[in-house]
Chains A and B, each alone.
Chain A
Amino acid sequence: MFLTKLTVNVRSREFRRDFANIHDLHRTVMSAYPDTDGDIPARQAHGVLWRLDPTHIGYTAYIQSHTNPTWIKLPRDYTTTTPEVRPLQPVLDAITPGRKLSFRLLANATQDTRPIPLKGKTRRVAHHQPDDQITWLIRKGEQHGFVIPTARDGQPDVNPSPVPRMTGHKDNTTITIDPVRFDGHLIITDHIAFTHALTTGIGRAKAYGCGLLTLAPPRNT
């Protein structure tokens, strides 16, 4: 497993284009990985997950994958520093049941609406209320082997913050994603399920910058 850190040059035209069209950003990320043949999409085959984090002067992109990426195809002025690639093994080694870690996750927290009578189709809509978003994350934790501890105020130790809507175009269809960023702490309960979630991502829209779980030592120990 590899984790890349790209410090993006916000004045680059290619980055501006990618920022306006999430599908172009997906393609730029995938340009670092070789083509695959077979039925599995290239993103899934290489286990690519990424996230664009705003910083006080621009953006940093974190990209995680099974395959070692080669960033030579990236446009010349796309980044301000050379891409930093490092193995993710230390993080995978640190996954033990009962361990507390701080995390960040940009997630597409959605729910299916009730089926429309006679049409029978459901529609996916994003959770917009913080309480619903936290409930969504806690349910994902049950599936993926982690729990959110209780903070000193008695509430779950996680902070959901709104993120600008991400939009894009793909073959005349419009992509619209209303993600939410979770910052907080988690406690690992099932290390096998949690490792699987870490390598394959959580929730929907993984091609478009959602689902990457990044971990760090806890802040309050």
Chain B
Amino acid sequence: MTTASLALCFDAPLQSWGTRSRGIIRDTTREPTKSGVVGLLAAALGKHRGDDEATEALANLHMAVRVDREGILERDYHTTQNVPTTEGKGHRTVVSERYYLADALFLVVLEGDPALLQELHDRVDRPHWPLFFGRRAFVPARPLLTREALSEQPAADVIATHSWLEIDVDVRNTERLRPATDRAPLRTVTDCTPTTPGAEPRHDHPVSIAQRTFRTRHVLVADTDLTDEMIRTGETSCS
């Protein structure tokens, strides 16, 4: 089986990727979670939440994330009024804290079975159900497929060479004029084995979406250089 990779652009005014949320504090991590990405892809394919085989097939894809623009973490004070009590008598107001990432931009690369990636490539543009980033209201700001979406490179190479997704002209020009040695690198979060030095556990590998069960995967947080080629080549926008 040859390797193939699918690169997706996650751009939205708001995104939220919770890993530990139970109850009234809804947290977010600083990059997309595997369960969130798997859920989004399953929605594109039209797989039901109870379809554990589809979940497993998608979760077994090797995922690598490049943070093209760090998001700003914001806290939302959120109230829901007239929530019935568990006894069914009377109503109460539920106060919750909801965290989200504002203005974040990610390159999400999936590596694995070429047939599955080809199917995903075809369906992400015409999804079965609407796609969103962590919460129903957080819809994509531009198409998910990048111009170089499908490739035969491994995910690590795509992360290191894929053109920068930033579209802010001021930010792009600032970086283009800056010497390459002065540029801040791009943060990457890549799936790895538990024995890799520096591996961090993340409890977001979905086992069953319907049962909300997860197991732990391991990621390596590293940096990749923002090279001249990544800023210059091609248009930044998606296809």
For A17, the chain B residues whose CB sits under 8 A away are: 70, 184, 187
Q: Determine whether B157 belongs to the interface, using a CB cutoff of 8 Å to chain A.
A: no
A19 CA / B30 CA spacing, docked (Å): 11
Q: Does A99 contact B (CB under 8 A)?
A: no
**Which residue from B70, B174, B221 sits with its C-beta under 8 Å from A169?**
B221
Chain B residues numbered 176-224 whose CB sits less than 8 Å from any CB in chain A: 182-184, 187, 198, 200, 221
Are the CB atoms of B97 and A20 closer together than 8 Å? no
Q: How far is the CA of A75 from the CA of B171 in the complex (A)?
A: 13
- Inter-subunit contact B69/A16 (CB<8 Å): yes
Residue numbers in B under 8 Å from A20 (CB-CB): 30, 67, 70-71, 187
Stretch at the interface among B42-50, B72-80, B85-93, B109-117: B72-80
Interface flag for B99 (CB, 8 Å): yes
Smallest beta-carbon distance A197→chain B, Å: 28
Would you call A87 an interface residue if the criterion is a C-beta within 8 Å of the partner chain's C-beta atoms?
no
User: B27 contacts which chain A residues (CB < 8 A)?
Assistant: 165
Bound complex: CA of A77 vs CA of B183, how far in Å? Answer: 12
Contacts of B175 in A (CB 8 A): 13
Kindly report which residue of chain A lies nearest to residue B74, judged by CB atoms.
Answer: A164
Tell me the complex Cα distance, A10–B103, Å: 10
- Contact at A16–B70, with CB atoms within 8 Å? yes
Q: Which of A32-86 contact B (CB under 8 A)?
A: 75-77
Are A13 and B75 within 8 A (Cβ)? no
A178 to chain B, nearest CB (A): 11
Q: Which of the four size classes fits the interface of chain A? A: 20 to 34
Cβ A172 vs Cβ B70 within 8 A: no
- Quote the shortest CB–CB distance from A18 to chain B (angstroms): 9
Inter-chain contact B198/A164, CB cutoff 8 Å = no
Instruction: Tell me if A157 is interfacial: C-beta within 8 Å of chain B.
Output: no
Contacts A13-B184, A17-B184, A169-B221; is A162 near B75 (CB within 8 Å)?
yes
| Chain A proximity of B227: nearest CB distance (Å) | 14
Compute the total of residue contacts between A and B using a CB distance below 8 Å.
45
Least distance between B175 CB and chain A CB atoms (Å): 7
B187 near A162 with CB under 8 A, answer: no
Q: Which residues of A contact B75 (CB under 8 A)?
A: 162-164
Please tell me if A190 contacts chain B, counting CB pairs below 8 Å: no
Which of B73, B99, B200, B221 is packed against the most chain A CB atoms within 10 Å?
B73
A-contacting residues, B9-59, CB 8 Å: 27, 30
With A11-B168, A16-B70, A164-B75 in contact, is A76–B174 under 8 Å at CB?
A: yes
Q: In whole angstroms, what is the CA distance A75 to B183 when docked?
A: 10
Known: A14-B184, A162-B97, A174-B200. A19 touches B171 (CB 8 A): no
CB contact list, A152-177 vs B, under 8 A: 162-165, 167, 169, 172, 174
* CB neighbours of A10 from chain B (8 A): 72
B178 to chain A, nearest CB (A): 8
CB distance from B34 to the nearest CB of A (A): 19
Chain A residues near B170 (CB-CB < 8 A): 11, 77
Taken together as a complex, chains A and B put the C-alpha atoms of A168 and B209 apart, in Å, by: 30
Say whether A19 contacts B72, CB under 8 Å. yes
A163–B97 Cα distance when bound, in Å, is 11
Within the assembled complex, what's the spacing in Å between the Cα atoms of A23 and B42? 37
Q: List the 4 closest pairs (A to B, CB-CB), nearest first.
A: A16-B70, A20-B70, A164-B73, A17-B184
Further 4 A-B residue pairs, CB within 8 A, beyond A17-B70, A20-B67: A13-B174, A20-B30, A164-B73, A164-B74
Residues of A within 8 A of B (CB): 10-14, 16-17, 19-20, 75-77, 162-165, 167, 169, 172, 174
Task: List, sorted by A's number, 7 A–B pairs whose CB atoms are closer than 8 Å.
Answer: A11-B170, A16-B72, A20-B30, A20-B67, A20-B70, A75-B182, A76-B174
